[in-house]
Amino acid sequence: FSAHGLRSGYLTEAANRGVPLPEAMEQSRHRSVQQASDYYNNATRRSGRAARLL
């Protein structure tokens, strides 16, 4: 594990759970909207019944 992996993983999971980007950035301590939005916008959005069970 690395700090980078944890931070980027958090943004990906936050996006999948519908957390607003500014709130996710505050939690992950990202300062750059561009960098954070790259992870956030590239997240694979899970939907459907099976995804909700996760």
Q: What pLDDT, in 10s, does the model give residues 2-41?
A: 777 788 888 988 988 889 999 999 998 889 999 888 888 8
Q: What is the dihedral of CA 10, 31, 3, 16, to 10 degrees?
A: 10
- For 54, residues 6+ apart whose C-beta sits below 8 A from its C-beta are 46
Q: How far is Cα 1 from Cα 18, in angstroms, rounded to an integer?
A: 24
| pLDDT (0 to 100) of residue 22 | 94
